[in-house]
A and B are shown apart, each in its own frame.
Chain A
């Protein structure tokens, strides 16, 4: 699997599990990605907005179909997220450490969704930024 295709600049990215707490991973991941990617959407039904951006309830309510979904949620929630990905025809899921679930990984395998897990992503090497 070519990991780099997950992090192409032109990708539309959705981060599921974004939070407003700067200490939390869900905040750091979103903040880093929105500085590096032109089109990143935060998803969490608990918030109206995150970092001044409109926050969406779920993947279904996004204004456009993302190419990549990044999960920063408990493993049980990831299992539902991957089901939505199949329904919406989203082909790439990156489960951030802590959000991976064997069941969800296997689901991705069975449904032709490329799945990254047990790894953190490094973005924008030129700007020396990573999460």
Chain B
């Protein structure tokens, strides 16, 4: 006689295995919310951009309100420290993907928000948390220093 398929065999022939099946069911119930949370996190992360976004005056408010933490870099291509900080921000955007969103506002073309926030030096990084301005970083800063400031605004 051909032996039954392993699952059926275990189910039909072993009380021990039946218990295991039940415990798997229980575990599955416990894991469900964890799985759901992980899935939600994954989907959220995918929604976050991995590179700094180009922000215009027209979509500034909507962008800083869209994500929990947004760092906006006011810059100009004629400014050497702005060019220095750009690759650092790109690295941070990758490393903090899913937690912090980075954006860039070019002060040559986008004046309205630069004026509103009184940008007198570039680069200036404005840190928004839940749409509210929480921190200002002026001038080129190395990655470690930026990370230290940003850590205060990240929910770990």
Chain A residues within CB distance 8 Å of chain B: 1, 3-4, 6-7, 97-98, 116-123, 125-126, 128, 130-131
**Contacting pair B80 A120 (CB below 8 A):** yes
> In the complex, which range does the number of interface residues on chain B fall in?
20 to 34
**Contacting pair A125 B111 (CB below 8 A):** yes
B81 at the interface (CB under 8 A from A): yes
Besides A119-B81, A120-B82, A121-B122, 18 other A-B contacts (C-beta < 8 A): A1-B138, A3-B138, A7-B120, A97-B79, A97-B80, A98-B80, A116-B138, A118-B140, A119-B79, A119-B124, A119-B138, A122-B119, A122-B120, A122-B121, A125-B115, A128-B111, A130-B107, A131-B78
Residues on A with C-beta less than 8 A from B114 are 122, 125
Residues on B with C-beta less than 8 A from A97 are 79-81
Smallest Cβ-Cβ distance to B121: which chain A residue: A119
> Given the complex of chains A and B, what is the CA–CA distance between A116 and B76 in angstroms?
18
Contact with A along B125-143 (1 / 0, CB 8 A): 0000000000000111100
